[in-house]
Structure 1
Amino acid sequence: MWNVFGAGYLVNNVSKMHGGAQKVVYKIDCSNGFSCVLYVWDLTMNFFQEEIANGDMHQNPYGGDMFELNNKYLTEHDIRTPTLYDLNKERTLYPFDYALVEYIDGHKAEAYFHHSDSRVQDKVFHRLGEMLTSMHTNERHIYGDANQSGMNIESCHHLQIENAKAQLSYASQHIDSMRINQSKLLDTLYELESKIKPRTQYGFIHGELGPDHVLVNDRLEPYLIDTEGAMFFDIEHEHSFLEFRFGDFYRYLKNVTLDPSRMLFYRYHHHIALTSGGLKLLHRGFPDQQFATQLAAYHSQCALRFI
């Protein structure tokens, strides 16, 4: 803090915030009233370190490099996200990347699902819808990271087929109904994929945009957080996720130009991936075991409804 901000920024308090499954998050309060957030990408604290070690994390890139790249891209394109004050990737003192980031004093978007004033809800979700439309209309002809160049060999949804197969295999080892119906679930995956027509136009997406990854400040302005997985991709991947994460409030975020076949395919993929993701959190000691259990149970049921 001293090195980045100066001698007047004396740390008064450090408190652990509720972080995700892939990084540790702390709030730092200074004696002069300033607050910021510390992100720590410590692999030993990551609940998906096995997948990272095996190179299986193309869906959720990990570490300070991706955060820095996407923070810069979003900022340059006027998509609100907390300011990156400093990023340390030297790994000389510690074996991990860490960053100091702007503290947004507010609530997650999910808090506004039950707000008593419908006008406040309208403002928050309308602004979020406008911001996502602006982000998704940043387009190019290749998918992948913001700094990726060259042509893609295959369509982006093929990555999801391979991922779905791997996640279905894991889920089938632990949920009887998934194991019994594994071949039918695979058949459904290929059937949905067969209806997708080629495309070479991709929008910039967050990649895992639930209401818990949107912070709203006291001026009711939404900010996107946990942006390491942002990339150019089919925007249906994002919208199929938004649809079930935002429920009734998805009406503010809808896009009438979406491809229905891609929406169904990605929705199905999400259910399979989240079933496996919930199980892995459960098996690897995630603090909120009830959440992990419910996540796996709910999405396995959703996936099975497709058959």
Structure 2
Amino acid sequence: MAHLGVADLAGTAQAAYGRDLRDVARLSGGSKKGVYRLTLDDGTTGVAYVWRASEDYWPEHEPDPLFGGASGRDLFLTAHTALSEAGMCVPRLVLVDTDVVVVEDLGAEFLEKQLDDSETLERLWDDLEAMHRRTSPRYGRPGTLQPLDAPPVPDVVLERALGHLKVCSERVPRITAERDRLETLLRQRHAVIEPREEYGLIHGELGPDHVLVADGRPVLIDIEGVMFFDVEWEHVFLEMRFGPHYRPVAGLDPARTALYRLAQHLSLAEGPLRLLDGDFPHRDAMREIAEHNVERVLAESD
């Protein structure tokens, strides 16, 4: 996949800063959008998010109505507004264009390199707790909430997990052998969940690689997955990604947590396997993620 260069983003730099563009560097990590550091003729920098087909490494597939469309300029802007209103720190907008958004370059390190900084971590957990307290009687993206009579969140998660189980069982013999057991386990965990009528605001994919640290303040990035949802979904992911640095919270529903843990491991096995069907460059890392989550899926039991 060819990356964008100075000629491709010179107009964006002019529109954002009124200056000539000296250099462009594609930053690592993006699979649905391109993330580029723009270096201007005076040495200052900005960051451009680019949503174009040429920047999307994911093979074509049937879209997931709630999760699968978690990319795009409009989702980014809606999420940016929702997080800002919730008091979360996000990069300042510099320019909004048709398929490009330019934000400030904070020149900050990722939190994954500062996990021993207890003060920053505590600030993140406090910020997230406040964010999760922002609620809605309907779930979904802040700008397109699902109707009140939409299927309950656990039903949505179950159907999605069954789809991921089907795909994984077609590609991973060890899961093929355990498919019936795993399907039964998913349905058993789903069956004991009690109804809920309120959902919290979540990031949706918050690992330490999606948090920058600027002057000791956690700054959220890769925010297109922001939605109102069961907060247990977020906490399962946080526990997976932060490991011993995760701060548990009281009041989570253990039934939802159990279902969502298995569902997320299935998702994190199926997604990387599908991404490897394309030309995603960081292939070893994707294989490791898929293998790790296959093992975690198989380890789940009654």
Identical aligned residues as a percent: 32
**2:296 matched to 1:302?**
yes
d(CA) in 2 for partners of 1:112 and 1:4?
A: 31
Deviation at 1:49?
4.6
Range that drifts further, 22-31 or 277-286: 277-286
d(CA) in 1 for partners of 2:279 and 2:175?
A: 22
CA 1:261–1:17 in 2, change beyond 3 Å: closer, same or farther?
same
d(CA) in 2 for partners of 1:5 and 1:106?
A: 20
Range that drifts further, 60-69 or 124-133: 60-69
- TM-score when normalising by structure 1: 0.89
Q: Deviations over 1:6-35 (max 9, x none)?
A: 2xx221211111132111110001122321
Partner of 1:107: 109
Partner of 1:255: 249
One of 11, 14, 17 as aligned partner of 1:5 = 17
- Runs of 4+ deviating beyond 6 Å: none
d(CA) in 1 for partners of 2:245 and 2:149?
A: 35
One of 81, 100, 106 as aligned partner of 2:90 = 81
d(CA) in 2 for partners of 1:281 and 1:206?
A: 22
- In the TM superposition, 1:4-83 aligns within 5 A as 4-6=16-18, 9-51=19-61, 54-56=62-64, 58-60=66-68, 61-83=70-92
d(CA) in 2 for partners of 1:214 and 1:282?
A: 25
**2:195 matched to 1:198?**
yes
Where do 5+ consecutive residues of structure 2 fail to align? Answer: 1-12
**2:187 matched to 1:178?**
no
Deviation at 1:296?
0.9
Q: Deviations over 1:54-75 (max 9, x none)?
A: 3325214221110011111212
d(CA) in 2 for partners of 1:88 and 1:168?
A: 39
Aligned to 1:284, what secondary structure does the other structure show?
coil
Aligned to 1:298, what secondary structure does the other structure show?
helix
Range that drifts further, 77-86 or 208-217: 77-86
One of 238, 262, 272 as aligned partner of 2:266 = 272
d(CA) in 1 for partners of 2:238 and 2:72?
A: 24
Aligned to 1:240, what secondary structure does the other structure show?
helix
Aligned to 2:255, what secondary structure does the other structure show?
helix
**2:260 matched to 1:285?**
no
Partner of 2:184: 187
Q: 1:208·1:241 contact (CA, 8 Å) conserved in 2?
A: yes
* Counterpart residue type for residue 102 of structure 2: L
- In the TM superposition, 1:223-234 aligns within 5 A as 223-234=219-230
One of 236, 242, 245 as aligned partner of 1:246 = 242
* Counterpart residue type for residue 15 of structure 2: N
d(CA) in 1 for partners of 2:65 and 2:29?
A: 19
Where do 5+ consecutive residues of structure 1 fail to align? Answer: 90-96, 116-120
Q: Deviations over 1:189-243 (max 9, x none)?
A: 10111121000110000011111111112x1111110111100000000000101
Range that drifts further, 143-152 or 70-79: 143-152
Partner of 2:10: none
d(CA) in 2 for partners of 1:198 and 1:57?
A: 22
Aligned to 2:47, what secondary structure does the other structure show?
strand
Deviation at 1:131?
1.0
Q: 2:51·2:73 contact (CA, 8 Å) conserved in 1?
A: yes
Partner of 2:3: none
Deviation at 1:129?
0.5
Q: 2:34·2:50 contact (CA, 8 Å) conserved in 1?
A: yes
d(CA) in 2 for partners of 1:286 and 1:162?
A: 27
